[in-house]
A = this chain, B = another copy of it.
């Protein structure tokens, strides 16, 4: 993400505030974007300083913009399966699943984390698109006995190598039993919470789901207090760390025009399952025909100064069009500008040398293995 300041952002009643919004202001959040019709914090000290807190210590993020869609009722399991290509027949109560949602053409609508709260009750923890409208629309003529709504649920993320220590201080040693991509119910100062061992950082971490928007300040401060001995800092989803980790951002790296295979996410498509899902026939056709382009990592010359000119920049190979950048950032760990890009299959092999047609000057780029930085002790 190019951290070029574009303008002031102005408060508007049209855009919703998170239950943690006042806390983010109090803690000095300097920039916001808008995500699922809600203000999303972008950084506190600086994107780089926040990154170092994340990778060296522990950070607390307001990610209430990850709105939940709750699906509950006798047909909930069947309906949730309809919405996703991933085989969920083995998903247990207490388990999370990263999944894609696709339309009838196999195009990606969202990439939520699913939480199975009960045999007949699920949350979809969303990226930035109105899945509530999609799910309600599908259900309108569908013959499913389900209720679909946005509950009063707002997640925080506690991320970084010291997240386990802060989590234990808050919730006791029982938290250590939580396996990766599982969740459990906890209580904190009388607040009922869901805590999952998930996150968008490639570091050890948890998501903590507040279930009463009035308690936002109290939950934030309770966690900050427990984190103080460990040097906790407020931070946000880190563009640097997620691109290092090869984690995709819906809206930047993929959208309705992309299929899972070209995103290297074919593992999330189970065509052999008995159940039908939206996009199954189209995805079978795409798989059979083979993809024509692929998301790759790029190491780009030019250092941090080049990043602002890389936003959605065109790529060429020997003068011919060869796709475009989808995300770019300077990695202070790798001391290298890194990017994600959608390129023709012929140019997607590791070591391919391409040219990024930045606004300023053409830059050389080399296709690099993903992730740039491996997932750590998550």
Seen from chain A, the residues whose Cβ lies within 8 Å of a Cβ on chain B are: 1-16, 29-34, 37, 39, 42-43, 103-104, 109, 128-131, 133-143, 239, 249-252, 278, 308, 311-312, 325-328
Could you show 28 A-B contacts with beta carbons less than 8 Å apart? A1-B10, A1-B14, A2-B11, A2-B13, A3-B10, A5-B11, A6-B9, A6-B11, A7-B29, A8-B9, A9-B31, A9-B33, A10-B33, A10-B42, A10-B43, A13-B249, A13-B252, A13-B311, A14-B128, A14-B252, A15-B34, A34-B34, A104-B136, A130-B134, A134-B134, A137-B138, A140-B278, A141-B141
A37-B128 contact in complex given A7-B31, A15-B251, C-beta closer than 8 Å: yes
Question: Which of B10, B131, B135, B249 is close to A14, meaning CB atoms less than 8 Å apart?
Answer: B249
Q: Which chain B residues border A104 with CB–CB below 8 Å?
A: 136, 140
Contacts of A311 in B (CB 8 A): 11, 13
Cβ contacts under 8 Å, A32 to chain B: 6-7, 9
Q: Which of A133, A135, A249, A326 has the most CB of B within 10 A?
A: A133
Q: How many whole Å from A251's CB to the nearest CB in chain B?
A: 4
Contacts of A6 in B (CB 8 A): 8-11, 32, 39
Contacts of A131 in B (CB 8 A): 133
Tell me which of A104, A130, A311 has the highest count of chain B C-beta atoms within 10 A of its own C-beta: A130
Residues of B within 8 A of A109 (CB): 133
The docked-state distance in angstroms from the alpha carbon of A30 to that of B7 is 6
- A129: which B residues are within 8 A, CB to CB? 37, 130, 133
Q: Which residue of B lies closest to A326 (CB)?
A: B13
Determine chain A's interface SS by DSSP, over half rule. Answer: mixed
- Nearest first, the 6 closest Cβ-Cβ pairs linking A and B are A137-B137, A34-B34, A130-B130, A141-B141, A133-B134, A9-B9
Give Cα A8–Cα B133 distance, bound, in whole angstroms: 30
Q: Is the CB of A8 within 8 A of B7?
A: yes
**Distance, CA A247 to CA B109, complexed state (A):** 32
Closest-by-CB residue of B relative to A129 is B130
- In the complex, which residue of chain B has the Cβ closest to the Cβ of A150? B256
Residue with the greatest number of chain B CB neighbours at <10 A, chosen from A13, A130, A308: A13
Q: Is the CB of B12 within 8 A of A2?
A: yes
A138 to chain B, nearest CB (A): 4
For A39, list chain B residues within 8 Å (CB): 6
Contact across chains for B13 and A31 when beta carbons are under 8 A apart: no
Which residues of chain B are near A1, meaning CB under 8 Å? 10-14
Rounded to whole angstroms, the CA-CA distance of A326 and B16 in the bound complex is 12
Collect the chain B residues with CB atoms within 8 Å of residue A4's CB: 10-11
- Closest CB in chain B relative to A54 CB, distance in Å: 18
A138 proximity list for chain B (CB < 8 A): 137-138, 140-141
Q: Which chain B residues lie closer than 8 Å to A30 at the CB level?
A: 7-8
Distance to closest chain B CB from A12 (angstroms): 5
| Distance between Cα atoms of A136 and B10 in the complex (Å) | 33
Report the separation of the CA atoms of residues A14 and B250 in the bound assembly, to the nearest whole angstrom.
7
CA gap between A5 and B308 in the complex, in Å: 24
Q: How far is the CB of A239 from chain B (nearest CB, A)?
A: 8
Closest to A239 in B: B12
A16 to chain B: which residues have CB within 8 Å?
Answer: 251
The distance from the CB of A300 to the nearest CB of chain B, in whole angstroms, is 14
Q: Which of A2, A12, A252 has the most CB of B within 10 A?
A: A12
Chain B residues with CB under 8 Å of A137's CB are 133-140
Contact B31 A34 (CB under 8 A): no
